[in-house]
């Protein structure tokens, strides 16, 4: 299966790849049960390319259920750590899991020329699951150990949205994960309430 061949469904850019992984968590459907978004065929490969972990067009042939399991476990671990950071409390065993995953070597990269002669990033070898998990885990370690970055962590204020992002806006007044999605929903709801009041 080739990464980057389909559309990148998770267009959310939190400011960090580790937070982008957290954003892939399933949302409960109307029946109250969420399905695993990364488990559908090709979806994890698509996310890996869309999040920038592998260059677009990189063939990932080894993705199987163990990859999905690994990334889902890391996502749950990151969710616990980010929640703990936002709430100012200790995260417990999730920190040990993160540190163990971060110890592995990330994928090797190199600069190569594309067909137009422009330098582009390429992986030195076919990407392995553990190397990609290590890259995301190291990003989380960098985020959680940087006081300035950690102080910019925010949870979206949108109704039924639990996404977390880095607030890099001027004045640190960003309220939503996306002005186009959650911000627009809030503006529409405010307009409807105002129209109903008249």
pLDDT digits (tens, 9 = 90+) for 114-146: 999 999 999 999 889 999 999 999 999 999 999
- Calculate the CA 152 to chain-centre distance: 16
Q: Mean pLDDT of all residues in the chain?
A: 83
Asked if 58 and 50 count as a contact pair (C-beta separation under 8 A), the reply is: no
pLDDT of residue 174: 75
Per-residue pLDDT band at 62 (split at 50, 70, 90): confident
Q: What's the whole-number mean pLDDT along residues 26-41?
A: 66
Q: Structure pTM?
A: 0.82
Range of weakest confidence among 69-83, 104-118, 158-172:
158-172
Q: What's the whole-number mean pLDDT along residues 86-112?
A: 93
pLDDT of residue 40: 74
CA-to-CA dists, residue 136 to 47, 58, 78, angstroms: 12, 18, 10
């Amino acid at each position: 299966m080739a990464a980057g061949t389909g559309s990148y469904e998770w267009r959310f850019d939190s400011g960090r790849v580790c937070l982008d992984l957290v954003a892939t968590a399933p949302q409960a459907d109307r029946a109250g049960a969420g399905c695993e978004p990364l488990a559908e065929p090709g979806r994890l490969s698509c996310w890996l390319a869309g999040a920038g972990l592998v260059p677009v067009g990189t063939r990932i042939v080894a993705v199987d259920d163990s990859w999905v399991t690994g990334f889902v476990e890391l996502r749950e671990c990151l969710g616990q750590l980010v929640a703990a950071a936002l709430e100012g409390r200790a995260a417990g065993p999730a920190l040990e899991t993160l540190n163990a995953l971060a110890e592995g070597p990330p994928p090797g990269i190199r600069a190569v020329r594309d067909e137009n002669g422009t330098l582009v990033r390429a992986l030195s070898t076919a990407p392995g699951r553990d190397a990609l998990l290590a890259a995301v885990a190291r990003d989380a370690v960098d985020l959680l150990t940087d006081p300035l970055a950690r102080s910019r962590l925010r949870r979206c204020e949108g109704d039924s949205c639990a996404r977390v992002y880095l607030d890099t806006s001027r004045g640190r007044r960003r309220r939503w994960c996306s002005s186009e999605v959650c911000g627009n929903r809030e503006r529409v709801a405010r307009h409807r309430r105002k129209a109903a009041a008249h």
